[in-house]
Structure 1
Amino acid sequence: MTRIIQSLSDVSDGYETLFCDLWGCLHNGRAPFPAAVATLQSFRAGGGHVVLLTNAPRPNGFVETQLDRMGVPRDAWDLIVSSGDAAQAAMFSGAVGRKVYHLGPEKDLGFFTDIPAEFADEPEIVRVPLDAAEGIVCTGPFNDLTETPEDYRATLLYAKTKGLKLLCSNPDLVVDYGDKRIYCAGAIAALYDEMGGESLYYGKPHPPIYDLARRRLAATGQDARNDRILALGDGINTDIQGGIGEGVDTLFVTGGLAGEAFGPDVEAPDAGLLESWLDERQLSPTYSIGRLR
């Protein structure tokens, strides 16, 4: 049974590092949540470390720029590790070939152009039309404000007939952008799997992003052992399932994607509704909280 807490400070003394989600937890895609920012600042001021672990499909430098533009202060976090980072490493290793079709918006082109130093000597990755591709790199819909996965059924059917693998740079199905819910790359990849295609995933809840986060955390001299880490976020099938799979304690932010399921007050989830909802999904986060505060 999950323990509902009122503030991160209720349990934070037991942890040295937070693996903290972004969308729905720290911000809504347009603006940060002030209480969440203050909470992370306080955790760091007390000697803790904050790794922003996000399923954003772009490398961490682009996420950092987005956070700066949004007004998230630099003293709220230590490291950013993105699904884009982990998926980019897979792409440069040749996971879907060297000639790839990019299914995604222009804002994600940094996935191909911002090449980490460790891959500078790898063979070039070339973006090509679908009929010339050896694989697909999906960073999301071309227009996430208007399109759904069904808009890509014909494209995916053609890809399946060619036997192309799809590298998914963001396993999230949906996120809330302000007050609008939009589809992510994960929804397209899930449809491809459903159609009999093969999708490869590198963000939460899959191990590669956690392995990368631990390596980068350890490189700063910090303790990366499981019992010192708390993973938190609003995605039950990404943040929470991933944390549980990695053997770390988890904090479910109920007021995000599934907020309407737990009663009228997103700040105070109904314990009975929450427990029933979690039982249906056969997942039990260590703690739950309405909003990160």
Structure 2
Amino acid sequence: MTRIITALSEISADYDALFVDLWGCVHNGVAAMPAAVKALQEYRKTGGKVVLVTNSPRPRAGVTKQLVQFGVPEDAYDAIATSGDSARSAMYRGVVGQKVWHYGPVTDSRFFDPLDILDNPVEITRVPLSEATGIVCTGPFDAEADPETWRADLEVALKRNLKLLCANPDIIVDRGEVREWCAGAVAKMYSEMGGESLYFGKPHAPIYDLARRRLHKLGNDIPDTKILAIGDGILTDVKGGIDEGIDSLFISGGLAAAETKTVTQPDPEALTDYIKTEKYDPPFTIGHLR
């Protein structure tokens, strides 16, 4: 059964590195969460390493710029691993062919910037759906629209037996007070229709491999038993941690705030019911990172 803690410092001495989710944990899609930032700064002062592990479809450079806009200071983290970078690497290895249809807003166009970390990457061309060998989904065209509006395009893709590369496995996020759909929701619908969706963010292995490589580049060979994953997604952060053999700290005041009756801290009975329903039990839970 999960242990409810009141501060990261209660358990942080047992871990040499943190894999920390961003949205709903360090920022709310609009601004930084001051208590979370302070907790990470204090952890780093003890010698701990912080890798931000996010399902953002953006390249690492784009997330870095976004963090500046949100007010997350550079001394709160050491490195960043994004679902976007993991998915981009796969795309430039040709997992959905060379002619791809971009399913997503034009603001995600940086996803297709050249990638210089691969030897002999394939040449990717963006084309209409009718000419595509595969789909790259960075999110719905309209994150607040009825999901049924996605179905017509996905039916065309299904008839053509196209694979869909999902750049962000998250289903939903809360941008301030507004709940938005993510690429994971599109990929989930496509899979339920009978299509094949490929995932590279949490809870899937590729992004954890990327996070470990980021950690290694910092000069640290840290075993999984000394890493703590932190995040508000029980089906992404907690499940991913369980699958990778990494302990997790569940932030109940994010996506599951209503279900866990979290204001400052979760209601113990509501938290227990939620964990039983979702079937993933994190070692630790806290209302908000602090």
TM beyond 0.5:
yes
Residue segments in structure 1 that go unaligned for 5+ positions in a row: none
SS of structure 2 residue aligned to 1:193: helix
AA matched with 1:105: P
Shift of residue 148, structure 1, vs aligned partner? 3.4
**Does the Cα contact within 8 Å between 2:80 and 2:214 map onto a contact in 1?**
no
Match of 2:184 among 183, 186, 207: 186
**Does the Cα contact within 8 Å between 1:141 and 1:148 map onto a contact in 2?**
no
Q: Distance in 1 between matches of 2:121 and 2:279?
A: 42
Q: How many residues align structurally? A: 290
User: Match for residue 13 of structure 1?
Assistant: 13
Q: Distance in 2 between matches of 1:186 and 1:224?
A: 30
The question of 1:57 aligning with 2:57 is answered yes
**Does the Cα contact within 8 Å between 2:51 and 2:214 map onto a contact in 1?**
no
**Does the Cα contact within 8 Å between 1:164 and 1:197 map onto a contact in 2?**
yes
Shift of residue 243, structure 1, vs aligned partner? 0.6
The question of 1:214 aligning with 2:212 is answered yes
User: Match for residue 271 of structure 1?
Assistant: 268
Shift of residue 218, structure 1, vs aligned partner? 1.1
SS of structure 1 residue aligned to 2:64: helix
Shift of residue 118, structure 1, vs aligned partner? 2.1
User: Match for residue 91 of structure 2?
Assistant: 91
Q: Percent identity?
A: 54
SS of structure 2 residue aligned to 1:53: strand
Shift of residue 272, structure 1, vs aligned partner? 1.5
Within 5 A, what are the aligned runs for 1:189-204? Answer: 189-204=187-202
User: Match for residue 283 of structure 2?
Assistant: 286
**Does the Cα contact within 8 Å between 1:57 and 1:169 map onto a contact in 2?**
yes
Within 5 A, what are the aligned runs for 1:224-235? Answer: 224-235=222-233
Shift of residue 152, structure 1, vs aligned partner? 1.1
Q: Distance in 2 between matches of 1:254 and 1:14?
A: 21
Runs of 4+ in 1 over 4 A off after TM superposition: none
User: Match for residue 148 of structure 1?
Assistant: 146
Shift of residue 117, structure 1, vs aligned partner? 1.4
SS of structure 1 residue aligned to 2:230: strand
Q: Distance in 2 between matches of 1:109 and 1:147?
A: 20
User: Match for residue 134 of structure 2?
Assistant: 135
AA matched with 2:182: C
* Structure 2 length-normalised TM: 0.98
After superposition, the CA RMSD in angstroms is 1.0
**Does the Cα contact within 8 Å between 2:167 and 2:200 map onto a contact in 1?**
yes
AA matched with 1:154: A
Match of 2:155 among 157, 173, 176: 157
The question of 1:109 aligning with 2:109 is answered yes
Q: Distance in 2 between matches of 1:134 and 1:116?
A: 20
AA matched with 1:282: K
AA matched with 1:240: V
SS of structure 2 residue aligned to 1:31: coil
Residue segments in structure 2 that go unaligned for 5+ positions in a row: none
**Does the Cα contact within 8 Å between 1:172 and 1:187 map onto a contact in 2?**
yes
Shift of residue 262, structure 1, vs aligned partner? 2.0
**Does the Cα contact within 8 Å between 2:93 and 2:122 map onto a contact in 1?**
no
